[in-house]
Structures are given as structure tokens and as C-alpha cells.
Structure 1
Amino acid sequence: MPPIALAIRHLGFEDLGLLHPLLHDRGYDVRHLDVTTEGIDSDAITGADLLVVLGGPVGANDTDRYPVLHDELTALRARLATRRPTMGICLGAQLLARALGAAVAPGPATEIGYAPLALTPDGMTSALRHLADVPVLHWHNDCFELPVGARHLASTTRCPHQAFAVGAHVLGLQFHLEADHRDIEHWLMGHAEALLAADIDPRTLRRDAAAVGPKLSRQAADAVTEWLDEAGC
């Protein structure tokens, strides 16, 4: 039986993107768990050989308004106790931070668009070193604090904690390493109200995606591949 890579999906078009073919080529049986239609399958989340918690338009603190997030946090705590490889992206990273006891709160400003990371010394020796010279896609309002014992890997001016690692088995990314520039129109249409509220012109994002996307795709694949190797995936 091939190993299972499970992605928790909160919004249809925010899927594994670039990571799907990468994981498939590594021999994984790649599956999505759509929490809005399927709810939380704790056994699947705990038992997957690799778990990727994806992004979404809700907040990690919105457990009263979206009870499925409460169930997800419970399942993630059980997952983290197994020390199996787990990656969180944007909302997913915020949920991992919360599951590890760290706070999540609104950042100083909405951060949407392609911009570079400032890698910490730990970040420069991590798999994220592949992203040192390329802008990545940011799309969030909230930011996480660092869990106790986590290594701080990257920051931006608007969000001081952009990435963290716990051991070799947990990687939390506030930015969207998985987003495929060829699918940016899904993001622009699907998040049109957020762009309007932030006074961001979708034409700018569309242009930046075309300019940055091909290089970012290659270097994102290198970063994820190195992390998977380190995590024993």
C-alpha cells in the first residue's frame, strides 16, 4: 500500500496546488478532506503518513462561529502527539500554532501580494533557504505567535512570524508556498471581496504571478522536497 498524504481543505480552490504532483511523484496516495462537506475525520488526520493543513478565509480563532474548527484543533493536537510529518499553510499554520499552545491574532495590516521573506539564521539553514531570493504569495489578515520550542524561520515587515518549525516533523508557513501561478484567477475571483476591501488591484497580482510564478514554482518544489527528505517522508 502506498503512503497516504492527506490535505485538510477549507475552501475548494485553495488546494494542494503545486504540491499535488510533487507528492504523487514521491509515491503518495494523495487525498483531500473537505471539512465543509465531510467534517473532521480524526482517525484519517491522525493516521495519515503526511498531513498538510491548507488555508481558508476564516480565522483560527473563529471556533464559535465555525465549530468544525474546534473539532479540527482537537484532531490536530492528537496528530501532533504522534510526531508524524505535518505541514500547515496560512490558516493551516495558524491552526497548528494554536494546537501547539501559541496565540493567533490580527496582524498590523492585511498582507496580500507577492513579496520576499526575510529569513532568520535558522531559516537560512532550513529548507526555506531555497526561497531566499524569490517573492512568495502572501494572503492573510492574522498572524501566529511562535509555539514554545519552535524555531523561527522567516518574517516580513507586516508579519514577524512567517514560518516556524518544530523538530523535523512540523513546518508552519504563513505564506502560500503551494499556490500555482497558473491558477491565480481562482484566487482573484474567489477572494474578490477581500481584494476590494484591501484596495488591491487584481491586475497587479495577475501581472506579478506571471512574472514571479515560474521561478517560485521551481524553488518552492526544492524547498518542499528538502523538508520532506528531512522529515523522513
Structure 2
Amino acid sequence: MRAHYLQHADFEGPGSIETWLQQQGYGITSTHLYSRDLLPKLNELDLLIIMGGPMSVNDESIYPWLTIEKQFIRDAIEAGIPVLGVCLGAQLIADVMGSRIFPASQREIGWYPVQGIQHDNPGCFQLPEELRVLHWHGETFDLPVGAVRLASSPACENQAFQLGDRVIGLQFHLEATTRLVNAFVSEDADTLANGGTFVQSAAEICAVSAEQLEATQSVMTRILEFLHREDHNNDVS
């Protein structure tokens, strides 16, 4: 089994996702787009993970590699490869599937709850009715055509979605570890200083308990297991 992740900033790695992949025996490779690494061949992949980043999906004039990355993601989805997008990664999936990416009415930065949407469809991943998660975003997106909303919050209607049974996008960071949390705070201190209705202080964000981190990581594990299963029908229409 081969998993590949796309990384957009040196401080924003896969966190607990990598731990799970190692435990499952995946061979793990990565593309550091900020270093202009080459993308792999799609036939080399069994799972694609798209991490977050400080840029916008609309910043192609600043980051020309976004254009190439978007085509790669579109091709991976069309090839039926299971894909997970986190924060910017979710926005990239929405973008390549034809949806609009735009500034949210409120920035969300810190530990705030999302509400899982309850579905009767057993083919949809079921998030908890409420889960406190790490947010770090100022943009949002319209749902791709055919996608199912999986979670929402007072500040952002589209917090998570599923497209077919192989593609999931998360606006928030279930993969957060203590190391990742500290890195986010260190790298984005100016944004935190500007404050906001849904922006916590650095101290509040870093005060997260081990139990809280384990709770979000366990949901990430469930999502990865969902994408890892072999009974996919490859329908993203």
C-alpha cells in the first residue's frame, strides 16, 4: 500500500495521519510543493492526502505550482484514488470540482466545536454530533455538486464534505498534535494578534489537553479507516 501527501508549508505536516499510515504498513511519500518537488505518478498511489497551508487556492499568480497541483488532484479523483483534504486541501478539492472558494464571514482560529450532520445513508461517513476541533482558516467554499455536507458550525456552514465514497474534505485539523499546534501558533502569531469573534489567543490554543488531542485524532483514524476500506464503488457523480 502506498500513501502520498501534498505539503504546502514546512511547518504543516501530516501529524497523526503519518502515525496511522505507519501503523497500517503504508509506504509513505510526499511532495513539498513549496520546494517545487515533483509530483508522483498516479499509478503509484493507493491514497492521496492533501494538507493545509497559509495560501489561498486562488493565489496561482503567487504560487504557480497551484495550477499543476490542482490538475493532479482532479486526475486523482477521476482515477478513483481515495483522497483526503485538510483545510487548504479541502478547499483545493472543492475548487477542482468546480466550487467557489471565498473569504468566510468570520475567521476561525482555535478550538471551537463543529456539529456533525446526521445521515441515514450508511455510505456517508458519520462525524460525532459535536466535536471540538482545531480551526485555522479565513476562507470557505461552496459544496461541490453531488457532495454531502458532513459538518457545520456557527461561523462556517461547510465544515466537511464527502464526494462519492472515496473523497472527504475537512476544513479543520483532526490530525493536530502538540507539535503541530505549537508550530501553527509560532508561524501565525500576527494573525492571532489581530483577534476576532472566533479567534483564540495563543495561550488558549496551546492549552489544549492530551485528552482533547486524542479525541480529534481518533476521529481522524476513523476517517482514514473509512477511506482505507476496499468496498468502494468509485461514484463521484
- What does residue range 38-77 of structure 1 map to in structure 2 within 5 Å? 38-41=36-39, 43-44=40-41, 47-77=44-74
- 2-structure distance, mates of 1:76, 1:28: 20
Query: Is the contact made by 1:102 and 1:146 (CA closer than 8 Å) also made in structure 2?
Result: yes
Aligned to 1:214: 214
- TM-superposed CA distance for 1:124, in Å, is 8.9
Aligned to 1:78: 75
Aligned to 2:11: 13
Gaps of 5+ in 1: none
Query: Is the contact made by 1:127 and 1:224 (CA closer than 8 Å) also made in structure 2?
Result: no
The one-letter amino acid of 2:70's match is: L
- What does residue range 1-233 of structure 1 map to in structure 2 within 5 Å? 3-41=1-39, 43-44=40-41, 47-122=44-119, 126-129=124-127, 131-198=128-195, 200-210=200-210, 212-229=212-229
Q: Secondary structure at the match of 2:11?
A: coil
Gaps of 5+ in 2: 233-237
Range with greater deviation from structure 2 (63-72 or 197-206): 197-206
- 1-structure distance, mates of 2:29, 2:139: 27
Q: Secondary structure at the match of 2:134?
A: strand
The one-letter amino acid of 1:174's match is: Q
Identical aligned residues as a percent = 30
TM-score using structure 2 length: 0.88
Structure number with the higher helix fraction is 1
Root-mean-square deviation (CA, aligned residues, Å) is: 2.1
- Give aligned pairs, total: 228
- TM-superposed CA distance for 1:20, in Å, is 0.5
Deviations 1:196-215 (A, max 9, x none): 22364200111135562233
TM-score using structure 1 length: 0.89
- 2-structure distance, mates of 1:46, 1:72: 16
- TM-superposed CA distance for 1:8, in Å, is 0.1
In 2 relative to 1, CA 187–123 (structure 1 residues): closer, same or farther, beyond 3 Å?
Answer: farther
Deviations 1:43-90 (A, max 9, x none): 435642100000000001111121111111111121121011011110
In 2 relative to 1, CA 121–135 (structure 1 residues): closer, same or farther, beyond 3 Å?
Answer: same
